Amino acid sequence: MKSNKQRRAEIKAHRLERAAALKVQLRTQDARQLSAGGLVPGMAMADKSRLAHYNTTFGEVPDFYLDQAYTCRDCGAKEVWTAKQQKWWHEVAQGSVYSHAVRCRACRQARRALRDAALRNEGANLLGDEVARLRALAAEKPDAAALAQIEAALQSKWRSLRVVAIEVMGCWGGPEQIAQLEALVAARPSGQNHRVWEREAADAAAKALRRLAELRP
């Protein structure tokens, strides 16, 4: 009888082998040909209706997801970001379609535990307080003071605070806010660097515009 730990190790090894095999296939075969005869192991079809805001703003979105092998940036463990996990992240959690897995589950949990411990210390939740204060502005009609707070947040050292400011602009949905959001989307840089702020701001603005469009009659 195998233990749960042994079973998990076997499953992980199998996924790594499958991801490596898919990578080799893609060197000599177009990805679309892989699904010509139906889904293959390590593949999940994309629901393009859930990715429409990317499709109309930044070009084509994927037809499907494939298992991707990666190395955890913290511990160096070899892991697999499965096609099913990618589908949930992009379509349910609405994570950026350009994002990638970088940490294994154990390191994510350890990182979260450290963050939670830090927040329990007195005065450590300054960022959380600022976020809550900004989110409260979304339910109110913007006045000069609220507009000034959003402008200040857009210059914050905290990226997460800047993203919340963009979300609030989308909630307000005035002509000036829409113009600002569209300008952020238009300024999205090209290239492979997914960590630049302008790319993250453009993605947040695109999401805000999409939600605003969904709420309109």
Q: Alpha-carbon distance 162 to 152, whole Å?
A: 9
The residue extents of the domains of the chain are 7-108, 125-215
Would you place residue 147 in the very low, low, confident or very high pLDDT band (cuts 50, 70, 90)?
very high
103 — alpha (psi -120 to 50), left (phi > 0) or beta?
Answer: beta
CA 56, 59, 61, 62: dihedral to nearest 10 degrees?
160
Q: Alpha-carbon distance 16 to 81, whole Å?
A: 9
Identify whether the C-beta of residue 160 lies closer than 8 Å to the C-beta of residue 131. yes
pLDDT at 108 over 80: yes
Q: Alpha-carbon distance 167 to 131, whole Å?
A: 11
Q: Alpha-carbon distance 158 to 161, whole Å?
A: 5
Identify each DSSP E strand in the chain by its residue range. 43-45, 64-66, 68-71, 78-81
The model carries a pTM of: 0.47
pLDDT at 110 over 70: yes
pLDDT digits 0-9 by tens, 82-106 = 889 999 998 898 888 778 888 988 8
